Structure 1
């Protein structure tokens, strides 16, 4: 009788131990499974980006790269320029108040959301022809010399503004217009944190002059579409040159 009782107690202990081990195994396995699933999902998201979706050399492409090494034809002019329905620094008849229509929906939403946040953003300037860019560049050369002018102004054919995809933001009150102090304004900070959500990237980042060829311009943004802008934000890559691995463009040929 004593042996039977002992055997029953042994079976109960074994059963409890087995249940405990199963529960521990199940709990330990679950987080690993979730982590693996999350990692696979993240990799799937990252690898789904197609870096060949658009050309980086076609002047009409939203991914075209324009810098001191890769110019646009001097005669190039986008066919879909329009005046966006946003606060403008100049009159609507001015050439600089135009931008390509492909940017319109996202740009309008950007202004709508920034306004809702209580900000004073304004469309400073957009499209420029090569001829007008020459006027601006020559003016900089006259006032500061060629070497300094080349740090802050593009030569004709080398300006992103000619693509119709770039614009300079400013404030309605004009504070820090085309000045690095724009980065410290609420508008500048908001753009730095949110512009990518609307398909825009800060084109000339701080400490990237050796790659882009231009000094830090916290007001100058370039439309590349939401997909590429989000990818650059996620990876932390700041320049188109680095993202597409085409080499730095610090100087002209």
Structure 2
């Protein structure tokens, strides 16, 4: 874990250059505080009046197997073994209607269903005096090419692959993943977020709104990336609830369901 933290911290300057180039300018002197949004890497249910009515049923295992291979499905499995096509862009990207950290237009987008669920979750958290902000959402294949190449140039390919996704292997390209943060971690992406009031709230409640913590602590070998308490993946209420109760990663849960995937 210590080495992963080292790579994230030492990569700050390179990341911010890439983000800024995707939005308003190519400013090579961007502040390092805007950098870590590009780092990756992936209770009981409340009723629908509290958490919304966007609740996909999992269906049969045969359907599930098809769903996880469908680029446009909210259950699409994306990792180092299962990637998105180079030309895949979500058709229903919308601008986020929640507090955000960055001005970058690209990362302040999600697919509509995920964006609606995120707004509902953040609004609900606010009612409990928990302030959560969105830091990095959708990222295009092109942005991921630039990001990963920059990490390789600065740290080498083996090191970069520990905390960043290769192009096509990033969940952010689905438009269904969001990195969240809070004032308690200076609006950055840090493992310490998991120990904050906001991070604990996310861990205990995100599944009620269809999100899972995609890269849990202690599951690095399976998930493929370092522990990221800030990285949420939208997969719908039913699946999120089941995975939360199982204590498994997405990959482990699919295997438990009898889905033949490579881990």
Q: Pick the TM interval, shorter chain.
A: 0.7 to 0.9
Which of 83, 86, 89 is the matching residue for 1:71? 83
Cα root mean square deviation, aligned: 1.8
Unaligned runs of 5+ in 2: 1-56
Matches of 1:231 and 1:185, distance apart in 2: 25
Which of 114, 120, 127 is the matching residue for 1:116? 127
Which protein, 1 or 2, shows the higher relative CO under an 8 Å CA cutoff with sep ≥ 6? 2
Deviation of 1:105 (Å): 2.7
- Mapping for residues 1-253 of structure 1, pairs under 5 Å: 50-52=59-61, 53-54=63-64, 55-91=67-103, 94-172=105-183, 175=186, 177-237=188-248, 239-245=249-255, 246-247=260-261, 249=263
Deviation of 1:51 (Å): 4.8
Residue in 2 that maps onto 1:18: none
CA offsets 1:199-219 (integer angstroms, 9 cap, x no match): 000000111111111111111
Matches of 1:222 and 1:247, distance apart in 2: 19
CA offsets 1:126-182 (integer angstroms, 9 cap, x no match): 111111011111222223222221111000011000000001001146526222111
- Structure of higher CA gyration radius: 1
CA offsets 1:52-111 (integer angstroms, 9 cap, x no match): 4550000000100001111100110000000121001123x6111000001233211100
* 3-state SS, counterpart of residue 181 of structure 1: helix
Residue in 2 that maps onto 1:24: none
Matches of 1:51 and 1:236, distance apart in 2: 21
Count matched residues: 200
Per mean C-alpha deviation after superposition, the further-off stretch among 113-122 and 75-84 is 113-122
TM-score by length of structure 1 reads 0.74
Unaligned runs of 5+ in 1: 1-47
